[in-house]
């Protein structure tokens, strides 16, 4: 049985014309870490708040552990859902110590049980020794760990994170991601987090739902989203890509640059398509068969790789530009670049 | 699809109706609106011959006097309030730091106290007169152009105790302005006077009008000063109808007419605020840098500030202290302590009730922020605009009905009277002062991040335990200030208490007023002084807060 199921879930705020979330489907299994990715205002936070019970869906059903918590005439109050949440501003109670914050959700246990549990969670999150501190005496990272510890203490069905890394500087981000991921995986907890940063989901999530204007565009694993984006929005969101129009024919893919070969089995009946090729999916060599040639118009050194912008004359007479990531040692003095796309990584996407 | 759409809508509306928080908020709002509904519904009823008499012979006079008072107070509070606000917020001059907070102090002096004090000072037998006559050989009477017990006198006294509303709001507005704004005007070659009249004044209009509206609401609320000065206004008219004619119906009708004044005032204020919405000069905000005034201008700023402070606060207070010392041995007896106990008990109970209800309403709005609930909170805080006499009549009439009904129901032997009990009085204070408590509590709650409530809910706590374990501990400051403000308002309240008080029940305010009415101003002083000192507390606290902000 799934931990969380969203069926056709939608939300339209009173007085608003647009749906904040519309027809959203998502299933989360126990132990999964799922990212909800999108730009600000795309509806991802509304989705999170509906799962927690702070917003009532206008449409659809939400099930937690197979039990309907919203929809079908049912509404379970947030306090009865056993859903933990780590807020963007951490929302630690300023008048309570770390210990009191963590035990705040353990009021149904006996004093002894609560203290055993709280001690366990303090150890897990590495907060020992800070029990008597007040939130204002903690660093940002410590605050986040207290917020996590507090949310995990009642052993919720699922833990929700709202933009967990937006308040943490990029230097500490990696560390925090690893730390949180370890804690979640160690306890076998299920987590959903909302973010606008693709690096967050790449680093942490087992499964990601890319959201735009309240709708899920694509839900898949991070590598699949990167390599096989379903449409141009997802393709762009995960980094640079080259979008090339093509027509499927007997010879292969007819593009303005010439014929490309794909290892996928593409029937000619597909007709006009759009290709997405990531900049690193090109082999640079003049000795390859069927390679293309372009003039390097821009060369940027970016550390691990070089970003080359190549201008190629198309068969319609116009020029087009292709972005290629090349190894830093490649010599570009000739101003010419011969390249060939990786036949496994030519991806056909939806036009939108 | 249709099934999906229809079910949740039903669920939401069921939730709204069955939600106990919203249900109780609805009940409270209804309770608070009840006096208002009763006053208004009466406007269409037949008033009988007494009302015909009032309508024909007295109402025009009431209306004219009230309008003259309002116009005069509007003009005078505008002049005093805006000029002092401008001087203290933009210039340094001798005493400017002191005046910044001292100019608020007259707000602690209710107009009726200041009124009978000044009437006492200017009386032919007053110690001031005697001093001038006996020691300096000067008859002060020849310098006085007019009798203070008149409409102009009332306007001056009311303005002296109400200008702080204009001063406070306008000053807060000036201090929030970026100095760039005025420097641009100066760099365009405008002289200081032209900057004030051409830039500062038009821009501060919303703040100034808001302050004057508050002052005018107090004018409509005033009973003590108008009665003492013999000016017949709507409010004194309500008293005449109720006490002299024993005709509550006419009191209700007069209240309804008075409400039209209040409504017009509120609408005017709202309208001008909507018309004028200025953006703050956003990115490059620099607080006003005060310039140092010298010579004639400094003397002018000093005079403009010292006159309202002297006349509105220092002289009357010194006089009251003098009288108190003289009369305390006779006045302060066990009856006086009883009076003090009554007043403090009543004010304390009222502020606790207001605080509790305000907390409840503010938390309901916070937790269930639907338009319906917001309207309920608006209704619950309507009372601030209602003159005390109107609230009192609006509560008195249903209580009289209820008493009549109870009498009938219980048979002839027993009299279960609710009229003239603390219940009626506390209910009236709740209606009248709910807004005072609510605004403090609500602004305190707004400073608490909503995610704290949500964190508590997600950790398994209900709304109720969240309120008690999270919100209330974090609101202690706002709650103290809410309770204190209501406490002071109840302590100095006069018209409402006069109408609804239990038989033979006196408060400090009533006793002071009654002594003064009997031409025994000196005996009124001790009670008046206690009211003033209590009223100074928030001003001094405010000064402390202002001082912190400056650093």
End position of a domain, from candidates A203, A236, A269: A236
Which residue of chain B is at minimal alpha-carbon distance from A72?
B7
Is B13 near chain A, with CB under 8 Å? Answer: no
**Is the domain of A225 the same as that of A277?**
no
List pLDDT tens digits, range B325-374. 988 888 888 888 988 998 999 999 999 999 999 999 999 999 988 888 98
Averaged pLDDT for residues B169-180? 78
This complex has an ipTM of 0.85
A89/B458 Cβ within 8 A: no
**Is the domain of A173 the same as that of A88?**
yes
End position of a domain, from candidates A210, A236, A262: A236
**Is the domain of A228 the same as that of A244?**
no
The domain spanning residue A260 has which CATH number? 2.40.50.140
Q: Quick one: pLDDT band at residue B551, thresholds 50, 70, 90?
A: very low
**Is the domain of A270 the same as that of A323?**
yes
Minimal CA–CA distance to B199: which of B217, B181, B225, B214? B181
Residue B264 to chain A, least CA–CA distance (Å): 30
Q: Provide the residue ranges of all domains of chain B, joining segments of one domain with +.
A: 50-112+147-279+286-306, 332-517
**Is the domain of A175 the same as that of A285?**
no
**Is the domain of A297 the same as that of A225?**
no
Higher pLDDT, B75 or A295: B75
List pLDDT tens digits, range B472-482. 999 988 898 88
Asked if B50-112+147-279+286-306 and B332-517 have one fold, the answer is yes
The domain spanning residue A210 has which CATH number? 3.40.50.300
**Is the domain of A163 the same as that of A250?**
no
B454/A83 Cβ within 8 A: no
**B455 contacts on A by Cβ (under 8 Å):** 85, 87, 91, 93, 150
**Is the domain of A193 the same as that of A44?**
yes
A57/B459 Cβ within 8 A: no
Residues of A (13-52) whose Cβ lies below 8 Å from B = 14, 52
H or E element that contains A1: none
Question: Residue A151: is its pLDDT beyond 80?
Answer: yes
What residues does A194 pair with on adjacent strands?
A: A36, A162
Residues of A (126-165) whose Cβ lies below 8 Å from B = 150-151, 154, 156
Minimal CA–CA distance to B171: which of B96, B109, B114, B111? B96
Q: Which of A171-175, B15-19, B221-225, B437-441 has the lowest mean pLDDT?
A: B15-19
CATH of B332-517, one of 1.50.10.10, 1.10.540.10, 1.10.3720.10, 1.10.10.10: 1.10.3720.10
**A93 contacts on B by Cβ (under 8 Å):** 452, 455-456, 470
**Is the domain of A224 the same as that of A256?**
no
**Is the domain of A25 the same as that of A41?**
yes
Strands (E), A188-291: 191-195, 207-212, 215-220, 242-249, 252-255, 258-260, 272-277, 282-284
First and final C-alpha spacing in chain B:
61
Domain housing A171 = 4-236
Convert A49-69 to b/e letters by CB count within 10 Å (16 or more is b): bbbbbbbbbbbbbbbbeeebb
Sheet with A67-71: strands ordered across: A21-28, A4-11, A59-64, A67-71, A74-75
B12/A150 Cβ within 8 A: no
**Is the domain of A247 the same as that of A123?**
no
Which residue of chain B is at minimal alpha-carbon distance from A86?
B455
Contact A20, A185 (CB under 8 A): no
Split into its structural domains, chain A has a count of 2
SS3 A309: strand
**Is the domain of A217 the same as that of A255?**
no
B470/A77 Cβ within 8 A: no
Averaged pLDDT for residues B42-60? 80
List pLDDT tens digits, range B182-240. 777 777 777 777 778 877 888 888 889 889 998 999 999 999 999 999 999 989 988 88
The whole-chain average pLDDT of chain A stands at 88
Which are the contacts of B139, defined by CB distance < 8 A and separation ≥ 6? B132, B133
How far apart, in whole angstroms, are the C-alpha atoms of residue B108 and residue A37?
Answer: 57
Question: Residue A37: is its pLDDT beyond 70?
Answer: yes
* Best mutation target, B375, B455, B463, B474, to test chain A (most A CBs within 10 A): B455
Is B457 near chain A, with CB under 8 Å? Answer: yes
Contact B428, B496 (CB under 8 A): yes
Higher pLDDT, A151 or B268: A151
The whole-chain average pLDDT of chain B stands at 84
How far apart, in whole angstroms, are the C-alpha atoms of residue B156 and residue B164?
Answer: 14
End position of a domain, from candidates A236, A266, A290: A236
Look at residue B286 in the predicted model and tell me its pLDDT: 62
Averaged pLDDT for residues B249-271? 84
Minimal CA–CA distance to A75: which of A100, A54, A104? A54
**A87 contacts on B by Cβ (under 8 Å):** 451, 454-455
Class of domain B50-112+147-279+286-306: mainly alpha
The phi and psi torsions of B247 (rounded to 5 degrees) equal -125, 85
H or E element that contains B522: helix B521-550
**A85 contacts on B by Cβ (under 8 Å):** 454-455, 458
Question: Residue B297: is its pLDDT beyond 60?
Answer: yes
Kindly report the pTM of this predicted structure.
Answer: 0.83
How far apart, in whole angstroms, are the C-alpha atoms of residue A105 and residue A108?
Answer: 8
Averaged pLDDT for residues B89-104? 89
């Amino acid at each position: 049985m799934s931990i969380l199921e969203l069926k056709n879930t939608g939300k339209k705020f009173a007085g608003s014309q647009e749906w904040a979330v519309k027809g959203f489907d998502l299933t989360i299994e126990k132990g999964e870490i799922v990212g909800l990715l999108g730009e600000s205002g795309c509806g991802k936070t509304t989705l999170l708040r509906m799962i927690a019970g702070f917003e009532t869906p206008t449409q659809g059903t939400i099930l937690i552990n197979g039990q309907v918590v919203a929809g079908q005439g049912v509404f379970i109050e947030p306090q009865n859902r056993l859903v933990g949440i780590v807020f963007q501003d951490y929302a630690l109670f300023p008048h309570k110590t770390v210990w009191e914050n963590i035990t705040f959700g353990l009021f149904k246990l006996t004093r002894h049980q609560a203290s055993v549990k709280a001690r366990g969670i303090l150890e897990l999150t590495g907060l020992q020794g800070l029990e008597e501190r007040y939130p204002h005496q903690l660093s940002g990272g410590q605050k986040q760990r207290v917020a996590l510890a507090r949310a995990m203490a009642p052993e919720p069905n699922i833990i929700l994170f709202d933009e967990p890394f937006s308040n943490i500087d990029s230097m500490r981000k990696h560390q925090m991601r690893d730390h949180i991921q370890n804690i979640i995986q160690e306890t076998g907890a299920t987590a959903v987090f909302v973010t606008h940063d693709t690096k967050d989901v790449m680093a942490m999530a087992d499964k990601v739902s890319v959201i735009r204007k309240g709708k899920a565009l694509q839900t898949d694993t991070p590598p699949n989203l990167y390599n096989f984006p379903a449409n141009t929005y997802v393709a762009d969101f995960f980094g640079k890509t080259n979008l090339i129009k093509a027509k499927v024919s007997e010879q292969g893919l007819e593009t303005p640059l010439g014929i490309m070969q794909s290892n996928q089995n593409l029937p000619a009946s597909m007709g006009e398509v759009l290709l997405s090729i990531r900049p690193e999916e090109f082999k640079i060599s003049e000795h390859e068969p069927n390679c293309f040639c372009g003039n390097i118009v821009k060369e940027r050194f970016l550390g691990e790789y070089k970003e080359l912008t190549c201008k190629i004359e198309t068969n319609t007479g116009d020029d087009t530009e292709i972005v290629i990531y090349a190894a830093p040692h490649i010599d570009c003095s000739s101003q010419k670049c011969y390249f060939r796309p990786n036949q496994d990584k030519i991806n056909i996407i939806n036009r939108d | 699809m249709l099934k999906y759409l229809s079910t949740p809508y039903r669920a939401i509306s069921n939730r709204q109706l069955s939600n106990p928080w919203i249900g109780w908020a609805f009940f409270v709002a209804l309770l608070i609106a009840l006096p208002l509904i009763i006053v208004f519904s009466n406007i269409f009823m037949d008033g009988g011959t007494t009302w015909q008499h009032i309508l024909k012979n007295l109402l025009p006079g009431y209306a004219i006097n009230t309008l003259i008072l309002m116009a005069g107070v509007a003009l005078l509070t505008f002049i005093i309030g805006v000029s002092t606000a401008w001087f203290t917020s933009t210039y340094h001059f001798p005493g400017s730091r002191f005046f910044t907070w001292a100019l608020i102090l007259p707000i602690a002096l209710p107009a009726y106290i200041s009124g009978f004090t000044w009437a006492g000072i200017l009386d032919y037998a007053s110690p001031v007169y005697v001093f001038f006559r006996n020691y300096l050989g000067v008859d002060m009477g020849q310098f006085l152009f007019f009798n203070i017990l008149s409409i102009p006198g009332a306007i001056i006294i009311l303005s002296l105790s109400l200008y702080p509303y204009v001063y406070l709001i306008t000053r807060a507005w000036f201090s929030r302005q970026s100095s760039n704004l005025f420097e641009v005007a100066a760099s365009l070659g405008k002289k200081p006077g032209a900057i004030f009249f051409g830039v500062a004044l038009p821009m501060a209009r919303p703040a100034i009008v808001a302050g004057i509206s508050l002052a005018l609401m107090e004018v409509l609320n005033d009973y003590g000063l108008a009665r003492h000065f013999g000016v017949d206004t709507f409010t004194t008219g309500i008293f005449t109808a109720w006490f002299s004619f024993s005709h509550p119906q006419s009191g209700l009708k007069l209240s309804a007419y008075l409400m039209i004044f209040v409504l017009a005032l509120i609408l005017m204020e709202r309208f001008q605020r909507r018309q004028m919405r200025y953006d703050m000069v956003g990115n490059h905000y620099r607080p006003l840098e005060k310039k140092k005034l010298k010579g004639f201008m400094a003397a002018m700023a000093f005079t403009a500030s010292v006159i309202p402070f002297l006349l509105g606060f220092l002289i009357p207070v010194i006089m009251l202290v003098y009288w108190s010392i003289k009369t305390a041995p006779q006045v302060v007896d066990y009856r006086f302590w009883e009076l003090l106990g009554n007043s403090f008990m009543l004010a304390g109970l009222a502020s606790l009730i207001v605080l509790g209800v305000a907390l409840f309403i503010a938390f309901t709005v916070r937790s269930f922020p639907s338009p319906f609930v917001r309207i309920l909170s608006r209704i619950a805080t309507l009372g601030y605009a209602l003159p005390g006499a109107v609230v009192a009549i609006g509560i008195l009439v249903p209580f009289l009905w209820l008493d009549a009904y109870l009498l009938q129901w219980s048979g002839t032997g027993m009299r279960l009277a609710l009229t003239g009990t603390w219940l009626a009085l506390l209910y009236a204070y709740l209606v009248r002062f709910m807004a005072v408590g609510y605004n403090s509590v609500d602004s305190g709650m707004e400073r608490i991040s909503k995610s704290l409530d949500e964190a508590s809910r997600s950790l398994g706590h209900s709304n109720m335990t969240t309120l008690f374990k999270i919100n209330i501990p974090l609101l202690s400051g706002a709650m103290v200030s809410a309770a204190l403000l209501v406490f002071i308002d109840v302590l100095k309240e006069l018209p409402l208490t006069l109408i609804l008080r239990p038989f033979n029940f006196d408060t400090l305010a009533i006793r002071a007023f009654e002594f003064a009415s009997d031409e025994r101003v000196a005996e009124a002083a001790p009670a008046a002084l206690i009211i003033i000192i209590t009223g100074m507390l928030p001003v001094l606290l405010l000064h402390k807060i202002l001082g912190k902000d400056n650093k």
